[in-house]
Amino acid sequence: MLRNTMPLKAFTIVCLAACGQFVTPGADAVAAEQSSVTFQKIPLGVSPNEGCAVADVDQDGKLDVIAGRNWFAAPDFAARPLRNIEEFGEDYLKNNGDHVYDVNGDGWIDVISGDWHGEEIFWYENPGKVGLTKGLLWKPHLLKKTRSRNEAYFLQDLDGDDVPEIVVDCWETEAPLVAWKLISSEEGPTLEQHVLGNNGCGHGMAFGDVNGDGHDDILTLVGWYEHPGSDPLSKEWKHHASWNRPHGSCPFLVVDLTGDGRNDVIWGNGHDYGLYWLEQLDTDEDDTAWKEHLIDRSYSQTHCLHWADIDGDGAGELITGKRVRGHAGRDPGGVEPECLYYYEWNQANQKFERHLISAGEGIGTGMQIRTADLNNDGKLDIAVSGKSGTWVLLNRGVEKSPATAK
């Protein structure tokens, strides 16, 4: 039995690789940083790990942090062993993301993970109360050998059965778009392959409703694949070659910024400079048209984007920063200082306003940014893991500037 013990929305991540049929106007300047949320910054450890997740691992009612080889038990986030992960290259671990799901239906949250060059996707079995108390390693189980050269994995419920499929973002442009369905077998949980499209994939992926039909489409480097509306795992998804841009964020975001009922796209260049939003324009054509707006070019490698209401005003904010030493520091700007920001959307002037979370303090990003109320104070906190460390950032609320303080 495959049973989800967390809201499925917690697993829904969106990520993009570019935009094609679009108009590029003059650059939009990022507004000066204004009254911002402040954070208590808690370092949990340093390793080459770049994945993280949040879940109640030990069923004590408190949200814990999972990051590579360890899980960190709330409320003090003490490090506990989870699994062994090999190193490779100059400064990598064989882990391109941590995903939480109760794979075997025993009521305990497990971890699903793969890596960039390996073909295998594993799930790591939570040992339960006794095993967690003893500090035992979680038992690895092979779900499936899929393919190599995988930029990221995403858990997304494509067929509406409340069990997420695993969608693989292969960085090879010519690779097919593939989803893997979690199923039970005599040997235990495994994966069943479903090819959704053969028109390519590439670095970056997103999930969101592009055409307003109420179904989440899949966006990739080579355009977007239209959800067929019914039987999505047995039908081919129509491909729209609306764009082709390299190295999009993993994830990128699909959000209606302008309030016109059409979803827009926020994406960054994961291996160069440039963070953008793409306005979806009204068109009578059987495709989409886009207008590109620059958000920020002051730092490089916005490899991972996240959307959450970090300031508690009821509207979401963009959270992103510099991936630390992507491609071992050989990307443009690859050895510049780490940074992390959130960007508030200003509906009046249709621009993002940047707010500093951290710069030059060792807090950057890796492959994933997570938000959750980690200390049960009603505010969303941040967990992030990159090659400069794994961090918990506890949200202390908005600090008013002297000009606005009363």
Q: Decide the pairing of beta strands 110-113 and 120-125.
A: antiparallel
* 3: amino acid identity, one letter: R
Residue 194 to residue 159: CA distance in whole angstroms: 12
In sequence order, what DSSP letters do the residues of 137-202 get, joined into one string?
PPEEEEEEE--S-EEEEEEE-SSSSSS-EEEEEES-TTSPEEEEEEE--TTS-EEEEEEEESS---
Cα–Cα distance between 102 and 104 in angstroms, integer? 6
Which pair of structure tokens corresponds to residue 332? 């443009």
What's the order of all strands across the beta sheet hosting 369-372? Answer: 36-45, 389-399, 381-386, 369-372
Consecutive 10-residue averages of pLDDT for the chain (406 residues): 39 34 44 77 97 99 99 98 96 96 98 96 98 99 93 97 96 95 96 97 96 96 95 97 88 96 96 96 86 97 98 97 94 96 96 96 97 98 98 92 49
Which pLDDT score is estimated for 301? 97
Please tell me the predicted confidence (pLDDT) of residue 31: 53
In the chain, the domains with their CATH numbers are 35-400 (2.130.10.10)
Q: What is the pLDDT of residue 5?
A: 38
Given this model, what pLDDT does residue 287 score?
82
Query: Phi/psi at 283 (nearest 5 deg)?
Result: -150, 150
User: What are 178's strand-pairing partners?
Assistant: 168, 195
